[in-house]
């Protein structure tokens, strides 16, 4: 038996006036998704447990069967795992964005989706000017990087920058949640302010401004944590092996910690220009070697964060035509039975430009599971689905059952 989970990051949304009160997935032309829906059982799943911020790190960890209350140690350590980094027990690891600021306003969480090559030059400059035996940065992908403070205290309130575009930056800086973390708070604020000086006139930013692009004006550390310990996917589910396909270090990191193979696809960007066909082909190839594949697509989430409803609608259609169509064709040619689970990890409403806690639609297609009467896959129709509402942490238990 082969199992594949297709995760459409941030695809769920809320009604949009420009679409006549439809969500982007309702407004999009999705013939393959709807064909699959007619063969599936559907429902809603609560991917983010109560008490947690609705971040992709929480939702995806929960969907993969690792309850955040038990296993989550911060987004930074997850992404660091994807980079092959290892840490000592006393090292505090952060996810660290390169962000754009203007007149004290947090303009953009991604520095205009800066390239990895450009970001690497900036990270090198930060390490040269501000790095030490206790502070260092590691280059990730595009605007997503890792920052490490030896001896740092985790008791901090840190704000994800993608949740607050257009807001004053200073009130969003890290704050100690406990008195013992005050020194770490002060250290982080110092490094953020100093990073602005290092980055201000760097040649990379000078070139970007000259080309009319956003500059990477500041580092933004958030989601701190220490080295985690997860049981392997085999230990958790009894599935012999598996693979993760994505363009995002966060997803690779969860997979790496769970003992899954990380598969990088050439041209996979996490944006609207990602290599959908390459991801579908990689998933089909991986299923020849593994019983389980987790296929993650980021483009819808980024469009939601940009507040661009038309772009989100278009990438959903691209996802349907360029990824789901060849994937479905290939799955039907497998020499053994297969099961397919398709869902978002959380909503990223274009009008809000951030994640919400609302449950998301899912469809499950597998031998022996009867299809229900839902014919179009979206946030509303699945409320009539035969599977009702499920808890995200149990979703794969149901899928593998």
| 399 Cβ contact list (under 8 Å, min separation 6) | 3, 5, 339, 341, 364, 366
Using CA atoms, how far apart are residues 135 and 122, in angstroms rounded to an integer?
15
* pLDDT reported for residue 185: 98
Q: Using alpha carbons, select from 79, 123, 71, 113 the residue that is nearest to residue 262.
A: 79
* pLDDT reported for residue 74: 86
- Are residues 233 and 212 part of one domain? no
Domain boundary among 207, 225, 243: 225
Domain boundary among 185, 205, 225: 225
Per the CB < 8 A criterion, the answer to whether 292 and 3 are in contact is: yes
Residue 340 lies in a domain: yes
- Are residues 382 and 315 part of one domain? yes
The CATH code of the domain that includes 32 is 3.40.720.10
Per the CB < 8 A criterion, the answer to whether 331 and 340 are in contact is: yes
- Are residues 396 and 250 part of one domain? yes
Q: Using alpha carbons, select from 116, 78, 237, 108 the residue that is nearest to residue 169.
A: 108
Residue 77 lies in a domain: no
- Are residues 339 and 234 part of one domain? yes
Domain boundary among 177, 195, 225: 225
Per the CB < 8 A criterion, the answer to whether 155 and 180 are in contact is: yes
Angle at 251 between CA 249 and CA 253, to 5 degrees: 65
Residue 285 lies in a domain: yes
- Are residues 270 and 131 part of one domain? no
Out of 91-100, 143-152, 204-213, 228-237, pick the least confident: 228-237
- Are residues 353 and 298 part of one domain? yes
Mean pLDDT of 149-172: 95
Residue 257 lies in a domain: yes
**What is the H or E stretch that residue 42 is in?**
strand 41-46
* pLDDT reported for residue 82: 86
Residue 326 lies in a domain: yes
Q: Using alpha carbons, select from 43, 48, 38, 36 the residue that is nearest to residue 347.
A: 48
How many domains would you assign to the chain?
2
- Are residues 185 and 52 part of one domain? no
- Are residues 106 and 211 part of one domain? yes
- Are residues 372 and 242 part of one domain? yes
* pLDDT reported for residue 322: 98
- Are residues 68 and 95 part of one domain? no
| 83 Cβ contact list (under 8 Å, min separation 6) | 138, 140, 146, 249, 253
- Are residues 246 and 116 part of one domain? no
Using CA atoms, how far apart are residues 377 and 391, in angstroms rounded to an integer?
19
- Are residues 324 and 278 part of one domain? yes
**What is the H or E stretch that residue 244 is in?**
strand 242-246
Is the confidence at residue 61, as pLDDT, over 90? yes
pLDDT per residue as tens digits for the range 279-290: 999 999 999 999
* Structural domain boundaries, residue 369: 2-72+229-400
Place 228 in a pLDDT band, splitting at 50, 70 and 90: confident
């Amino acid at each position: 038996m082969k199992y594949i989970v297709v995760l459409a990051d941030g695809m769920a949304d809320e009604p949009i006036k420009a679409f006549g009160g439809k969500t982007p997935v309702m407004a999009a032309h999705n013939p393959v998704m709807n064909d699959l829906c007619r063969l599936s059982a559907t429902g809603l799943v609560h991917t983010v447990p109560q008490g947690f911020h609705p971040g992709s790190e929480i939702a995806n960890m929960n969907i993969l069967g690792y309850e955040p209350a038990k296993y989550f140690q911060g987004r930074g350590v997850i992404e660091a795992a994807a980079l092959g980094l290892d840490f000592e027990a006393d090292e505090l690891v952060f996810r660290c964005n390169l962000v754009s600021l203007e007149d004290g306003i947090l303009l953009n969480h991604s520095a205009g989706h800066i390239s990895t090559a450009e970001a690497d030059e900036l990270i090198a400059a930060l390490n040269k000017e501000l790095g030490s035996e206790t502070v260092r940065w590691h280059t990730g992908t595009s605007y997503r990087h890792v920052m490490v403070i030896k001896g740092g205290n985790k008791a901090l309130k840190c704000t994800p920058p993608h949740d607050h575009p257009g807001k004053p930056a200073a009130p969003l800086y890290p704050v100690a949640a406990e008195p013992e973390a005050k020194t770490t708070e002060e250290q982080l604020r110092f490094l953020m302010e100093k990073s602005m000086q290092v980055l201000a006139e760097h040649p990379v930013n000078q070139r970007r401004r000259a080309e009319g692009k956003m500059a990477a004006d500041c580092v933004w550390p958030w989601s701190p944590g220490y080295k985690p310990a997860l049981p392997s996917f085999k230990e958790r589910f009894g599935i012999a092996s598996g693979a993760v396909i994505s363009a995002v270090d966060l997803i690779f990191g969860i997979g790496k910690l769970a003992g899954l193979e990380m598969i990088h696809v050439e041209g996979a960007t996490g944006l609207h220009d990602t290599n959908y066909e390459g991801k579908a082909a990689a998933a089909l190839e991986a299923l020849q070697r593994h019983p389980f594949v987790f296929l993650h697509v980021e483009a819808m989430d980024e469009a939601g964060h940009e507040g661009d409803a038309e772009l989100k609608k278009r990438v959903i259609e691209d996802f349907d035509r360029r990824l789901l169509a060849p994937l479905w064709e290939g799955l039907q040619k497998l020499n053994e039975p297969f099961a397919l689970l398709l869902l978002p990890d959380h909503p990223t409403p274009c009008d809000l430009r951030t994640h919400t806690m609302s449950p998301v639609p899912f469809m499950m297609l597998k031998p022996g599971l009867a299809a229900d009467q839902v014919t179009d896959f979206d946030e509303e129709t699945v409320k009539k689905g035969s599977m009702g509402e499920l808890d995200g942490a149990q979703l794969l238990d149901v899928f593998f059952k």
